[in-house]
A and B are shown apart, each in its own frame.
Chain A
Amino acid sequence: MKLGFSPEEEEFRAECADWLQGQMSGEFKDITGIPNLVSKIERRKEWEQQLAAHKWSCIGWPEEWGGRNATLAQQVIFAEEYARAGAPNRVNHIGVELAGPTILAFGSDEQKAKFLPGIASGTKIWCQGYSEPNAGSDLANVKTKARLEGGEWVVNGQKVWTSLAHYSDWIFVVARSEEGSKGPKGITFLMMDMDQPGIEVRPIRQMNGDAEFNETFFDDARCPEDSILGTPGDGWRVAMGLLSFERGVSTLGQQMQFRNELDAIIAAAKANGLVNDPVTRQKIAKAEIGLRLMRYGALRMLSNADTAKIDGAALTYKIQWATWRRDLGELAMDVLGQAGEIAEGDEYEWTMLPNMFLFGRSDTIYGGTNQIQRNLIAERGLGLPREPRGDK
Chain B
Amino acid sequence: MEFAFTDEQAMIAETVQAFFRENATSERTRAAMEGDGIDRELWTSFCTELGLAGIGLPEDFGGAGLGMVEFAIVAEAAGSQVAALPLLGLATAAQAIAAGGTDEQKAEWLPRLVMGEAIASFQGIHGLDVSGNTLNGEVRFVPHGTAADVFVFIRKDGAWIVRKDQAGVSVTGHTTMDQTRPLATVTLANVEAEPLADAQAARDALHAGGWICLAAEALGGAQETLDRTVSYSMERVQFGRLIGSYQAYKHRLADMMVEIEQARSAVYWAACAVDEQAEEADLALHAAKSFAADTYFMCAGNMIQLHGGIGFTWEHDAHLFFKRARSILSMLGNGDWHREQVATLIMGEAA
Contact residues of A with B, CB < 8 Å? 1-5, 9, 72-73, 76, 266, 269-270, 275-278, 281-282, 284-286, 288-290, 292-293, 296-297, 299-300, 302-304, 312-313, 315-316, 319-320, 371, 373-375, 377-379, 381-388
- The one of B4, B290, B343 in contact with A1, judged by C-beta atoms closer than 8 angstroms, is B4
A3-B276, A388-B245 known; 4 new pairs, CB 8 Å cut-off, are A1-B4, A73-B1, A288-B283, A377-B258
Q: Does B342 have its Cβ within 8 Å of any Cβ on chain A?
A: yes
Contact sample, A vs B, 24 pairs, CB 8 Å cutoff: A1-B268, A2-B1, A3-B1, A4-B278, A76-B1, A266-B346, A269-B347, A270-B347, A276-B351, A281-B340, A281-B347, A281-B350, A282-B339, A284-B346, A296-B3, A303-B4, A313-B261, A320-B261, A374-B251, A378-B244, A379-B250, A381-B254, A384-B230, A384-B244
Residue of A nearest to B340 (CB): A281
**Residue from the list B69, B226, B244, B261 in contact with A297, Cβ < 8 A:** B261
Cβ B339 vs Cβ A1 within 8 A: no
User: Which B residues are CB-close (under 8 A) to A378?
Assistant: 244, 250-251, 253-254
Contact of A285 among B9, B234, B343 (CB under 8 A): B343
A383: chain B residues at CB < 8 Å are: 230, 234
B175, CB-defined interface residue at 8 Å = no
Q: Are A384 and B245 in contact (CB under 8 A)?
A: yes
A3: min CB distance to chain B, Å: 5
Once the chains are docked, how many angstroms separate the CA of A166 from the CA of B69? 50
Contact between B245 and A385, CB atoms less than 8 A apart: yes
Find chain B residues with CB under 8 A from A72 CB: 1
Contacts of A313 in B (CB 8 A): 261, 264-265
- Chain A residue numbers with a CB within 8 Å of B3 are 1-3, 296, 299-300, 302-303
Task: Please measure, in the bound complex, the distance between the C-alpha atom of A154 and the C-alpha atom of B156, giving whole angstroms.
Answer: 76
B73 and chain A: residue at smallest CB distance = A1
Q: In the complex, what distance in Å separates the CA atom of A95 from the CA atom of B95?
A: 52
In the complex, the 10 A-B pairs of residues with the closest C-beta atoms, listed nearest first:
A378-B250, A374-B254, A285-B339, A296-B265, A377-B254, A281-B343, A385-B245, A285-B342, A299-B3, A303-B4
CB-nearest residue of chain B relative to A377?
Answer: B254
Q: Are B346 and A387 in contact (CB under 8 A)?
A: no
Proximity bits, B208-222, A CB within 8 Å = 1, else 0: 000000000000000
Considering the chains assembled together, what is the distance between the CA atoms of A2 and B8 in angstroms? 13
Contact B350 A382 (CB under 8 A): no
Q: Does residue B314 face the partner (Cβ distance < 8 Å to A)?
A: no
Does B238 make an interface contact (CB < 8 A)?
no
> Hey, which chain B residues are within 8 Å of A286, CB to CB?
339
Q: Could you list which residues of chain B lie within 8 angstroms of chain A, going by C-beta atoms?
A: 1-6, 9, 69, 226, 230, 233-234, 242, 244-247, 250-251, 253-255, 257-258, 260-262, 264-266, 268-269, 271-273, 276, 278, 280, 283-284, 287, 290-291, 336, 339-340, 342-343, 346-347, 350-351
Contact residues of B: prevailing secondary structure: helix
Q: Which residue of A lies closest to B246 (CB)?
A: A387
- The residue among A297, A303, A316, A382 with the most chain B CB atoms within 10 A of its own CB is A382
Give complex CA distance A377, B252 in Å: 11
Nearest-neighbor residue (CB-CB) of B268 within chain A: A1
Contacts of A374 in B (CB 8 A): 247, 250-251, 254-255
Query: How far is it, in angstroms, between the C-alpha of A296 and the C-alpha of B269 when the chains are bound?
Result: 7
Are B5 and A1 closer than 8 Å at their CB atoms?
yes
Complex CA–CA separation, A131 to B106 (angstroms): 65
Q: Are B230 and A312 in contact (CB under 8 A)?
A: no
CA distance A374 to B3 in the complex (A): 25
Contact of B258 among A275, A303, A319, A375 (CB under 8 A): A319
| Distance to closest chain B CB from A207 (angstroms) | 26
Q: What B residues does A2 contact at CB under 8 A?
A: 1-3, 272, 276
A1 B69 Cβ-Cβ under 8 A: yes
> B350–A276 contact, CB under 8 A?
yes
Is the pair A316, B261 in contact by a Cβ cutoff of 8 Å?
yes
Residues of chain A within 8 A of B2, CB atoms compared: 1-2, 303
**Bound state CA distance, A304 and B10, in angstroms?**
13
Instruction: State the CA gap A382–B257 with chains docked (Å).
Output: 9
Q: Which residue, of B230, B254, B278, B291, has the highest number of chain A Cβ atoms within 10 A? A: B254
Chain B, residue nearest A317 (CB):
B261
Contact in complex: A293, B230 (CB < 8 Å): no
Minimal beta-carbon separation of A305 from chain B (angstroms): 10
Asked if A382 and B253 sit within 8 Å, CB to CB, the answer is yes
A384 vs B243: C-alpha distance when bound (angstroms): 9
**Contact assessment for A4 and B253 in the assembled complex, using a CB-CB cutoff below 8 Å:** no
Residue of B nearest to A386 (CB): B245
How many Å lie between the Cα of A281 and that of B340 in the bound state? 7
**Is there contact, CB below 8 Å, between B251 and A1?**
no
Question: Do A4 and B261 touch (CB < 8 A)?
Answer: no
Task: Give the complex CA separation of A312 and B242 in angstroms.
Answer: 24
CB distance from B336 to the nearest CB of A (A): 6
Contacts of A384 in B (CB 8 A): 230, 233-234, 244-245, 250, 253
Minimum Cβ distance to chain B for residue A373 (Å): 7
Task: Write the nearest CB–CB distance from B201 to chain A, whole angstroms.
Answer: 22
Q: A313-B264, A316-B258 are in contact. Are A5 and B1 (CB under 8 A)?
A: yes
Q: Could you tell me if B233 and A299 are in contact, using CB atoms closer than 8 angstroms?
A: no
Residues of B within 8 A of A284 (CB): 343, 346-347
Contacts of B9 in A (CB 8 A): 1
CA distance A297 to B255 in the complex (A): 16
Q: Are A300 and B266 in contact (CB under 8 A)?
A: no
Contact B262 A278 (CB under 8 A): no
- Cα(A383)–Cα(B283), bound, Å: 35
CB neighbours of B336 from chain A (8 A):
282
Residue of B nearest to A289 (CB): B287
Q: Which residues of B contact A320 (CB under 8 A)?
A: 258, 261-262
Residue in B9, B234, B253, B261 with the greatest tally of chain A CB atoms within 10 Å? B261
A282/B340 contact (C-beta < 8 A), A3-B1, A3-B278, A300-B3 known: yes
- Shortest Cβ distance from residue A262 to the other chain B in the assembled complex, whole angstroms: 9
